Structure 1
């Protein structure tokens, strides 16, 4: 009986707690990501390294912090039911050719992105379909957003879905 009485007293005491509302917390953070594209990207062959490379500057209108992540997507047009649709593939991206394997890879700083085509065979005769007139989309996002394991960044469409589910915006810019 004492335990029941004690339980009722504690419950009543907790329910009766009232007072002034505490101070309001700081407003939520609005994370703003940015996208930009480069069209007609051509790679130059570097024979001493047996790879293709190009460096693309981050446009001055795009602000990148050293802690931000830059994701790079390569455009591949797909024929679906007789219509060409845009699909964006996250780099690194592999292609398995009769001669061997090539891979698009990249690294970045807060001012530029260096793109490479690396391979396991002599790339000097690589088909220009891989090296010329490429289109890339760059997505600059705060590193905390990119590290969230619930965020799927494998395709641009999945990234856009995640962006719309968060308090996050993508601003587009074409240099």
Structure 2
């Protein structure tokens, strides 16, 4: 009986050792991240102050949208939207929504755009550049990344920066 007990203990020990090995498995992603798109928007009454960009968005994607608010030494300055600008004319909002097929970017707020001069339109409604970045939700869930900071996002996700 003692011999069977020893063999049983050896078999259990062997099973535990084999099942507890540390396997360093490489997971191959089926999607390519990041997915990015640049949009130049001209907001006007004809497009209801909105512009749409078609994209294939997975349910596991996080959609980030940034507006180029200026340039510093030839480098774009990106601000995450939604964003409210408090101007002397009133509040100007840049906002977005999305479906699995597209991202819609809108300009709105308390300002009556039809009453604004050419300088206002040139600065805030014409040739507005936006960058849409799709990143995987699973990686960012517990990530220490500031999504409002475009530079932090591209560094964390190892995204080559487009100029």
Same fold flag (TM > 0.5): yes
Q: Relative to total residues, which structure has the larger strand share, 1 or 2?
A: 1
**Partner residue in 2 for 1:12:** none
Q: TM-score, normalised by structure 1?
A: 0.66
Paired residue secondary structure (2:139): helix
Cα RMSD after superposing both structures? 3.0
**Partner residue in 1 for 2:146:** 152
Paired residue secondary structure (1:37): strand
Q: Post-superposition, which runs of at least 4 consecutive aligned residues in structure 1 deviate over 6 A?
A: none
In the alignment, does 2:97 pair up with 1:107?
A: yes
In the alignment, does 2:106 pair up with 1:116?
A: yes
Paired residue secondary structure (1:64): coil
1:77 to 45, 70, 75: 70
Larger relative contact order (CA 8 Å, sep ≥ 6): 1
**Partner residue in 2 for 1:136:** 130
Unaligned runs of 5+ in 1: 1-16, 165-169
Q: Any conservation in 2 of the 1:44–1:54 contact (CA below 8 Å)?
A: no
1:27 to 12, 25, 36: 25
Q: TM-score, normalised by structure 2?
A: 0.70
Report how many aligned residue pairs link the two structures.
142
Q: Relative to total residues, which structure has the larger helix share, 1 or 2?
A: 2
1:53 to 50, 53, 57: 50
Unaligned runs of 5+ in 2: 1-12
Paired residue secondary structure (1:153): coil
Q: Any conservation in 2 of the 1:33–1:139 contact (CA below 8 Å)?
A: no
In the alignment, does 2:76 pair up with 1:38?
A: no
**Deviations 1:16-70 (CA, angstroms, capped at 9, x unpaired):** x8874336657244564223232432223379xxx62111212xxxx42133221
